[in-house]
Structure 1
Amino acid sequence: MNETPTRVYAEIDLDAVRENVRALRARAPRSRLMAVVKANAYGHGAVPCARAAQEAGADWLGTATPEEALELRAAGIGGPVLCWLWTPGGPWREAIEAGIDVSVSAMWALDEVRAAARAAGRPARVQLKADTGLGRNGCQPADWAELVGAAVAAQAEGTVQVTGVWSHFACADEPGHPSIQLQLAAFRDMLAYAEKEGVEPEVRHIANSPATLTLPESHFDLVRPGLAVYGVSPAPEIGTPAQLGLRPAMTLKASVALVKTVPAGHGVSYGHHHVTESRTTLALIPAGYADGLPRNASGAGPVLVGGRIRHAAGRIAMDQFVVDLGPGAADGAVSAGDEAVLLGDAERGEPTAEDWAQAAHTIAYEIVTRIGGRVPRVYLGG
């Protein structure tokens, strides 16, 4: 984009993405690194962020859906890519022909992979996912022998190449949680069984962002950070981005649309959940829940405007919200067209994704990934 948008836009600093990838690689120096770019790179833009991550040394890319993985290939991005969220009838053949690793958690998936590999005339690169205690995707220990045996047989017939064994933590963002060691033990057991039965994986992996940062014994052959790649801490308990050596890549900015003085007792936004206590100045920020700001942060969402962090006054609406600048702002310290920073880097005195998460009673993952499609992305360092 040649011109900076004027309503609301997200600046994405690709140099920050590169720095974060290098910092995460330093946390796991003996392991390869997969940069997870699912959900449009957590709202940052999958294709430019994937390229930046690879430039900084990411060995793998990870996506949830096959469509996300195929988007990378369509953009000319090579290298190993894993996608893991499959449903019956998915584009297995397209993924196989694009050289994408596919995750298999159940017999139905392996059956569909084998059929697609025959149709494609080439073996499918398959990674077996173990459910070690998350209780979500992945194969239960009781069914592991059947799945491993079938995968080994498929490999012998030439329809499958088993390239990985992997799993996912439930509570790695809670250091010391008892489930962490239980899952590690289960993963080691299921991995040992698969290898005993003839699986020779290229990569074995379980470490997400928090485990990459705090749990060296979980690093195995590959670490799989997602949110941390974009400079956002995966949990306040682990540390701030600066404490973790990370730098936020996204800065969400808007232009003040209107500044006006209103009398005491004036209701602000839907439902009048905010009523002015005295004569005061209001500023209108032209971004709302249609842009991804959580309505749950009404009355609390932070924004840096006029040199101070202020908070949403009243309801966040679909397209806009209001901040109360206070009675002392009537002298024109904030004007229409001034920059408002909704989220960015605490080191620059800006509100952060974690600040918005606390205001909305959610997690920082949701804040950045929900920034909507009508918010243009402006790339720096590209």
Structure 2
Amino acid sequence: MTGELAEAVVDLAAIEANVGRIAGATTAAVMAVVKADGFGHGAVPVARAALAGGAAWLGVTSAAEALELRRAGLTAPVLSWLHGPRTDFAALAAADVDVSVAAPELLDAVAAAARAAGRPARVHLKIDTGMSRHGATAAGWPELVAWARKYEREGVLAVRGVWSHLATADSSPSGVSAQTAAFGEAVAYARDAGLEPELLHLANSAAAFTAPHTHFDLVRAGIAVYGVEPVPGRAFGLRPALTLRTEVIMTKRVPAGTGVSYQHTHVTDQPTTLALIPLGFADGIPRGVDGRAQVLLGGRRSPIIGRVAMDQCVVDAGDLEVRIGDPVTVLGPGDAGEPTAADWAAWAATNPHEILTGIGTRVPRHHDGKGTFTADVRVEGALPSCATEGKR
């Protein structure tokens, strides 16, 4: 570290190689999802590494995220997909950003902005195929399609894509099949109504490796880009890209019966050495993991004990000879035995996405452009991609 109390080091070579593995599993184009500041890794450097690895598209949630990429000089196609009625669609059109639309009211707003800007907007219509979240319902799809076709004829927008999102690609093939069928029906309706979308997209990270019939024209990869295996119990050769590390800032030897941190939720049962590290729940350490979570200290895993505070937590170092300034690895790829984001997700009863995006902004990100990881982009154990099934 270079003077900070903690740092998150991002291996951009791992990002690039992970995208290469995803691309090697499909004949479709790959969209690297860099929302939430690149899942906490840094959206702009991650986007550059992903494009170098073979991604053709970038995906974000909001207009602000899309415009950040454009301000950084990235010119690759970008899709932004979560908007409200006050979104500045004119700015997105001017920045050459595609937008997702799932309701006629928002389609009206996009069309009005396109008229004002004097240039057509490019939209991707989203259908809800079983997520019961964002996307037009089957009952509302005909109205959305009809308005989109009307605006296309008027020349104010072009329907570039039709898409949906899978709910159970990591756990339920039957659920994927049902959603894929519903998606096919929605696409057929849109085409019968006169729309000619060039991009159909449904697959996420898990489906990229396990469900080639969902790939269509574009695969949207999120968590896999960052090296987290998307299907429990299966490995596709991905490498975690982020390492979170800090250092010991205080040590103390305490006797048995010592209460630790707020409310003394942990009391030592024998003499031990406590090591304080300057990371807490404001930095992404989940508050309720005492007694379960571990860090790598002195070459071995040691548990976090007591209630995690906003800025700090306590590690039980046992009989290790620990000094102020000793390095601590909180999470990483696991090469040296350190916990991974998946380990932390299990301890906190959440998913790795929340662990990675929860690392606070006061932890500086350092991007390693060199990296040591290289990989064949062929995917061992993945289902073969089909060149025609599901393709337009």
Instruction: Give me the whole-angstrom Cα distance separating, in 1, the residues matched to 2:195 and 2:280.
Output: 50
Structure 2 residue aligned with 1:7: 5
Q: Residue 360 in 1 paired to residue 348 in 2?
A: yes
Q: Residue 111 in 1 paired to residue 103 in 2?
A: no
Structure 2 residue aligned with 1:198: 194
Q: Which amino acid aligns with 1:337?
A: G
Q: Residue 184 in 1 paired to residue 180 in 2?
A: yes
CA shift for structure 1 position 300: 1.6
Structure 1 residue aligned with 2:361: 373
1:39-98 per-position Cα deviation (integer Å, ceiling 9, x unaligned): 000000001101111111110000011110011001111110000000111111100110
CA shift for structure 1 position 203: 1.0
Q: With structure 2 as the length reference, what TM-score do the two structures score?
A: 0.92
Candidates 299, 313, 319, aligned match of 1:307: 299
Q: Which moved more, 1:245-254 or 1:274-283?
A: 274-283
Moved beyond 3 Å, runs of 4+:
none
Residue correspondences, number: 370
CA shift for structure 1 position 299: 2.3
Output aligned runs, 1:1-150, within 5 Å.
4-28=2-26, 30-150=27-147
Is the helix fraction higher in 1 or 2? Answer: 1
Instruction: Give me the whole-angstrom Cα distance separating, in 1, the residues matched to 2:232 and 2:280.
Output: 25
1:219-259 per-position Cα deviation (integer Å, ceiling 9, x unaligned): 1000000011000123424x2xxx21100000000011112
Structure 1: segments with no counterpart, 5+ residues:
none
Structure 2: segments with no counterpart, 5+ residues:
371-392
Q: Which amino acid aligns with 1:217?
A: H
Contact persistence 1:164–1:201 (CA under 8 A): yes
Output aligned runs, 1:218-297, within 5 Å.
218-237=214-233, 239=234, 243-297=235-289
CA shift for structure 1 position 144: 1.0
Instruction: Give me the whole-angstrom Cα distance separating, in 1, the residues matched to 2:236 and 2:54.
Output: 19
Instruction: Give me the whole-angstrom Cα distance separating, in 2, the residues matched to 1:122 and 1:353.
Output: 44
Which structure ranks higher in relative contact order (CA pairs < 8 Å, sequence separation ≥ 6)? Answer: 2
Same amino acid, percent of matched pairs = 52
Q: Which amino acid aligns with 1:44?
A: H
Structure 2 residue aligned with 1:351: 339
Instruction: Give me the whole-angstrom Cα distance separating, in 1, the residues matched to 2:85 and 2:195.
Output: 25
